[in-house]
Amino acid sequence: MEILTLKTFKAVVDEGGIKGAAEKLHTVQSNITNRIKKLESELDTKLFNLIGRKLQLTPSGQQLWQYAEQILQLEYEATAAIQRNKGSYELRVGMPETFAAVHMPLALKQLKQNHPNIRAKIYTDTSDRLVFAVLNNKVDCAAIGNAPSHDKLVVIPIVKEELVMVTPLESAHDPVLFVRDQGCGYRKHAINWQHEAGRGSDELMVMSSADGILGCISAGLGYTIIGKNMVEGSRYKDSLAIHPVQYGPRHVQLSVVYRKDSLLESGVLTLAKLLTE
């Protein structure tokens, strides 16, 4: 079995199908299908059953999945150990888009200037999905809000961000709460605030970016609950009003999380220190 074939098999499971695996591995769906067929032929067994329109692991597939996890973990550790020993390595860092826009630029500049041996590679996603990415070695660490307690994770608090209610500056706004997609830490706080404030009847509008949310609010289309730094760094700042939140938590704790067995811990700690400063 080749490492690429095992990564393809794991991607099909992780992403829920051929299409998702192809997007993740930046290839065409036919390549994914051919690799799975090759693996099934090599092992002389079916790995997936098609149930309706979804792929489901067979008992053999379930067994291979467990071994693939261990093999790919060892492959990652071997690569990380050799890179670390060479003194120059890539550090895969995950973060939400809001964090990337507000908190990360200065830290990355300092990392490049003062620690040229560490090459940061950035991935953006929601906080919930980034926790999964860290646990499955898709990234080496992640900067997220409200980090969960997990026996495989180390959590380093870095920034405590103030939560605020944002409305248009000069116009009335519609009773619409704008939030990000599922898995966004701000979304959870916003919805909790909505219930505690007795505004459960307000319409919920989901958008893919914080910039889009703030743009709609500046136009009078609604309001949101978000980090104060995100508003102050926005191009819409002059057309927005910021109010202290009256219900629920007043702050979001931002932290860097990484696996306890990470071989690139020194790089993670270096980045976390820069973010704290």
**Over the stretch 7-27, which tens digit does the pLDDT of each residue have?**
999 999 988 899 999 998 999
Instruction: Render the chain in DSSP notation, one character per residue.
Output: --HHHHHHHHHHHHHTSHHHHHHHHTS-HHHHHHHHHHHHHHHTS--EEEETTEEEE-HHHHHHHHHHHHHHHHHHHHHHHHHHHHT-EEEEEEE-HHHHHHTHHHHHHHHHHH-TTEEEEEEE--HHHHHHHHHTTSSSEEEEESPPP-TTEEEEEEEEEEEEEEEESSS---SEEEE--TT-HHHHHHHHHHHHTT-TTSEEEE-S-HHHHHHHHHTTS-BEEEEHHHHHTSTTGGGEEEEE--SS-SEEEEEEEEETT-TTHHHHHHHHHHHH-
Tell me what pLDDT residue 138 has. Answer: 85
pLDDT, greater one: 121 or 170: 121
Tell me what pLDDT residue 24 has. Answer: 84
Does residue 61 have a pLDDT over 90? yes
Tell me what pLDDT residue 71 has. Answer: 92
Tell me what pLDDT residue 136 has. Answer: 83
Does residue 87 have a pLDDT over 80? no
pLDDT average, residue stretch 222-237: 90
Reported confidence tier of residue 131, pLDDT bands at 50, 70, 90: very high
pLDDT average, residue stretch 90-113: 89
Question: Please, what are the domains in the chain?
Answer: 3-82 (1.10.10.10), 87-159+253-276 (3.40.190.10), 161-252 (3.40.190.10)
- In this structure, of 42-51, 81-90, 169-178, 216-225, the range with the lowest mean pLDDT score is 81-90
